Amino acid sequence: MDLIIQTNVYLILVLMYLSKNKKMKNKHIFFTMLIISLFYSCEKDYLDVVPDNVLTLDNAFTDEVNAQKFLYTLYASVPSPGSVFNPSLTGADETWYPTTERFKTGQAIAQGNQGATNTLGERWRGQGTSSMYVGIRNCNIFISRLELGVRGLSQQKTQQWIAEAKFLKAYFHFYLARMYGPIPISDELIPISSATDNVRLTRNTIDEVFTFISALLDEAIADLPIFIPFENDNLGRITKPIAASIKARILVTYASPLFNGNTVYSDFVNVDGENFFPQQFDASKWEMAAIASKEAIDICQEAGIRLYQTGDLDIEAPQTDFTLLKATLRGRVTDRWNQEIIWGHTDDTGIIQYESMPRLYSYLNNPVASRHCPTLRIAEMYYTENGVPINEDITYDYSNRYNVKLAEASDKFKIEVGQSTAKLNFDREPRFYADLAFDRNSWFGNGRTGTNQFWNIRSRRGEFASIFEPSQYSVTGYWAKKLIHIETEVTNGNSLNTKRYSFPVIRLADLYLYYAEALNEANGPTGEAYNYIDLVRERAGLDGVLTSWSSFSTNASKPTTKEGLREIIQQERMIEMSFEGLRFWDMRRWKLAVDLMNQPIKGWNVLQEDLVDYYKVKDLFYPSFSERDYLWPVSENEIINNPTLIQNPGW
């Protein structure tokens, strides 16, 4: 019980801090829960021993105070979205690392090093709270004990706390299903005295899993508050907007091609010969996803959640409209308590900033790693300044995009005037300049936030932003500026003073694009679908879809067909949600990974000093992705322990 005592001391200190910070009201973050999880990672697994220690378990529910302590431990199993070891952050074609750093879980998966004997990023069994089934088991414990009644705990609190546990239980099941496909549903607390055969669960079908998750979320949503009550004491707790928004994500995933009529898995059956994956496409699943998305949007609106806008920045505002727009677009993710984030996680975002930030001048030492770097494919993915793809824009010199061009006075707030960079970096949409940094790019922040104040990146061989050592440089020639808080800066030339933020799990722009996607898949192009895409585009400084395509695209009618609008929505999602760990899952649920992950990973020839040589495209890696890679393998050790499990196809 020493761990619980230690945790309480730190909880008190955290809550004292929170009560003094007026800016932290009505924000849905895991600040308190992070403190708990940090201690659990350092001590013997309290969660693992609870079910086998009846006396300890009884003590955990003797009264309201102790029951609340147990509730907080449930949050420790929520995976950290902003960790560089999160497979979805580094495991696709979105970022690439130097060869010396490709041991990171995501990079190893992207290189094709996944295996059943050494499962990378495993969440089925895992260690302690990294196992989703450990988290699910403890949710079952908590729910069953609260249903028996806890001394001093009101009926209202009992219902709310059970609803929180039900949400987390549903979320953990979804996290596993997204990874492994059909999984065993764990809905009951199995007694310790049960025979071994009773605890060897079998895998349920996809339909059974998603139906169970959706129903459990409905139960949770009914009893969750729309606002956090007594915010200074309860930051980080699940609310109705969070649960409704995650339900929308879950139903969109369920309706997507990977899980909806995927005939690739026609031979993947259980012991009774029943298909694990539904073999017939069901259009009604998209209708359910659209309904859930709109319900979530309405709940978020009632809770005051809105798109982050110009004027929300809590810094001295620059005087130029374009610089302010770029800063606003960065703030949509990194402004710590902003109203767009529906659910966020206070990871150690100092680490991802350390990994992502370029050297902006000749430091005395090396306080940044500069190696979490966007690929050339991602740089090409962003729209032109006219809001259409670069290969469709009738005004864009697409065939010569790899040639170099001299920046003029009109480029001042994007590219260093009088310096040359690739044509690819000119005439792009505002999010390109807000989310990416590159050689000769103008960088706002790092202590320069006044009018006309910015740094200029120099990254050719021998310059300060070039290779520092083999493990610390951008192998692509781009940096993920989007992940760097504007107020993060190098101080005294040798240390990084990071301004931390809550890394988004889901934010309102994400939800808007889910709704537009579900509407298009259910009904084809509609005014409502256009409207929600255009809300995201308008915030990004772009015209609406219909206006942009009719004015500048070689395929003006593209938004008017279901297939064309689908492609537009997918690209809009991959731009707006870049570097937030969603491309990894989206390209899987859309079944696009087998195409995208079998193309070379490319970047500039960054170890060259000469301008023309630097801007020659270089193949960095040739990934290989097959149908089996859409799902994680179940660890062979798990199958040995539970022979009733059936391995995923191809593993």
For residue 97, pLDDT beyond 50: yes
Phi-psi sector, 547: left (phi>0), alpha (psi -120 to 50), beta: alpha
Residue 427 sits at φ, ψ, to 5 deg, of 60, 45
Mean pLDDT score, 180-193: 82
What would the pLDDT profile of 486-532 be if each residue is shown by its tens digit?
A: 999 988 777 899 999 999 999 999 999 999 999 999 999 999 999 99
Which residue did the predictor score with more confidence, 450 or 647?
647
How confident is the model over 156-170, as a mean pLDDT? 97
pTM for this model (two decimals): 0.91
- pLDDT tens digit string along 293-331? 999 999 999 999 999 998 888 776 566 889 899 999 999
Determine if residue 452 is left, alpha or beta; phi over 0 gives left, psi from -120 to 50 gives alpha, anything else beta: left
Cα–Cα distance list, 356 to 110, 328, 480, 529 (Å): 19, 19, 6, 34
Please name which of 69, 233, 65 lies closest in space to residue 150, comparing C-alpha atoms.
Answer: 65
Q: How far apart are CA 293 and CA 511, in angstroms?
A: 7
Compute the average pLDDT of residues 250-275.
97
- What is the per-residue burial (b if ≥16 Cβ within 10 Å, else e) of 211-229? ebbbebbeebbebbbeebe
Q: CA-to-CA distance for 15 and 363, rounded, in angstroms?
A: 38
pLDDT at 450: 73
Question: Percent of the chain scored above 90 by pLDDT?
Answer: 77
pLDDT per residue as tens digits for the range 611-640: 999 999 999 999 999 999 999 999 999 999
CA distance 119 to 253: 23
Beta strands 373-374 and 601-604, pairing class: unpaired
Residues facing 424 on adjacent strands: none
Task: Give the C-alpha separation, 107 to 130, whole Å.
Answer: 19
At residue 356's C-alpha, the angle toward residues 75 and 123, to 5°, is 35
At 317 the pLDDT is: 58
Question: Which one, of 567, 81, 515, lies nearest residue 255 by Cα?
Answer: 515
Instruction: Provide the pLDDT for residue 41.
Output: 36
Report the range of poorest mean pLDDT among 228-242, 272-286, 448-462.
228-242
pLDDT at 279: 98
Q: How far is CA 105 from CA 110, 169, 585, in A?
A: 9, 25, 15
Residue 200 vs residues 143, 194, 508: alpha-carbon distances, Å: 22, 11, 40
Residue 535 pLDDT > 70: yes
317 neighbors 324 (Cβ within 8 angstroms): yes
Strand-pair partners of 491: 495
Tell whether the model's pLDDT for residue 586 goes beyond 80: yes
When pLDDT is averaged across residues 45-52 and rounded to a whole number, the result is 35
Give just the sign of the alpha carbon dihedral 392, 393, 398, 404.
negative
CA 502 to each of CA 121, 243, 314, 348: distance values in angstroms, whole numbers, following the listed order: 22, 18, 15, 9
CB 584 within 8 A of CB 92: yes
Q: What is the DSSP string of 468-497?
A: SBTTBS-SSSEEEGGGS-TT-EEETTTEEE
SS3 111: coil
CA dihedral 429, 434, 437, 441 (to 10 degrees): 70
Closest listed residue to residue 627, CA positions, set 599, 649, 600: 649
pLDDT for 392 equals 98
Average pLDDT on 257-261 reads 98
Give me the chain's average pLDDT, please: 89
- How far apart, in Å, do the first and last CA atoms of the chain sit? 42
pLDDT (0 to 100) of residue 216:
98
| Angstrom distance (rounded) from CA 428 to CA 437 | 13
| 156, burial (CB in 10 Å: exposed 0-12, middle 13-18, buried 19+) | exposed
Specify the pLDDT at position 365: 77
Any idea which of 136-145, 312-321, 428-437, 457-466 has the lowest mean pLDDT? 312-321
Q: Is 286's pLDDT higher than 70?
A: yes
Answer whether 170's CB lies under 8 Å from 143's CB: no
Contacts of 154 (CB under 8 A, 6+ apart): none
By mean pLDDT, which of 202-216, 323-337, 438-452 is the weakest? 438-452
d(CA 529, CA 525): 6
For the cut 90, the answer to whether the pLDDT of residue 42 exceeds it is no
Cα 164 to Cα 9, 71, 383, distances in angstroms: 23, 8, 40
As a whole number of angstroms, the distance between CA 90 and CA 35 comes to: 25
**Inter-residue contact 603 to 477 (CB < 8 Å):** yes
Which tens digits make up the pLDDT trace of 59-72?
899 999 999 999 99
- Interatomic CA distance for residues 147 and 205, integer angstroms: 29
pLDDT above 60 (res 10): no
Q: What's the pLDDT score for residue 188?
A: 85
pLDDT tens per residue across span 383-408: 999 999 999 999 999 999 999 999 99
